[in-house]
Homo-oligomer: A and B are copies of this chain.
Amino acid sequence: MSELPRSVNLAERLSQFSELWTQKKVADLNDYEVKLAKLKGEFVWHTHDETDELFLVISGRLTIQLRAGDVVLEPGELFVVPRGVEHCPVADEESAILLLEPAGTMNTGDAGGPMTKAAESLST
């Protein structure tokens, strides 16, 4: 058996970085990645045609703008953006979230642009 993964303390791992809009991988689940991110301000409207995307708010307050209306998430609340649904996260205050989606999912989906950034591993 290969070495076991370590447990992940979300607050501790969040204290290890400060960059905004950069996804930090903290665990693998099959071919999915558990990632943390800090957000402030507005992201870009984009769509993931190939996958749903799970957002769980850890601190702050995240609004996921959808063309059908806003979904506002407080700490302890999660939302799954279905594949193919255009969305744009915005956080008025700095917020911390957990993301879960297949490995290789790009943060800006179909939109590309200057905020496009691959997820980074957060070293332990």
Name the B residues within 8 Å of A82 (CB-CB). Answer: 1-2, 4-5
Interface stretch among A27-35, A38-46, A116-124?
A: A27-35
Interface centre among A1, A66, A68, by most B CB within 10 Å? A1
User: Closest CB-CB distance, A27 to chain B, in whole Å?
Assistant: 5
Chain B contacts of A101 at CB under 8 A? 29
Copies in the assembly, this chain: 2
Instruction: Point out the residue from B9, B72, B100 that lies within 8 Å of A29, measured CB to CB.
Output: B100
CB <8 Å contact, B78 and A1: no
Does B10 lie within 8 Å of A77, measured CB to CB?
A: yes
- A57-75 CB mask vs B (1 if < 8 Å, else 0) is 0100000001010011110
**Cα-based distance from A78 to B7 in the complex (angstroms):** 6
Evaluate contact between B68 and A4: CB separation under 8 angstroms.
yes
Task: Name the distance in Å between A14's Cβ and chain B's nearest Cβ.
Answer: 10
5 extra interface residue pairs, beta carbon distance < 8 Å, beyond A10-B77, A29-B53: A1-B68, A4-B85, A7-B78, A8-B78, A100-B100
Show 13 residue pairs from A and B whose CB-CB distance is below 8 angstroms, ordered by the A residue.
Answer: A1-B85, A5-B79, A7-B72, A7-B78, A7-B79, A9-B77, A27-B78, A29-B52, A29-B53, A29-B80, A34-B80, A58-B76, A100-B100
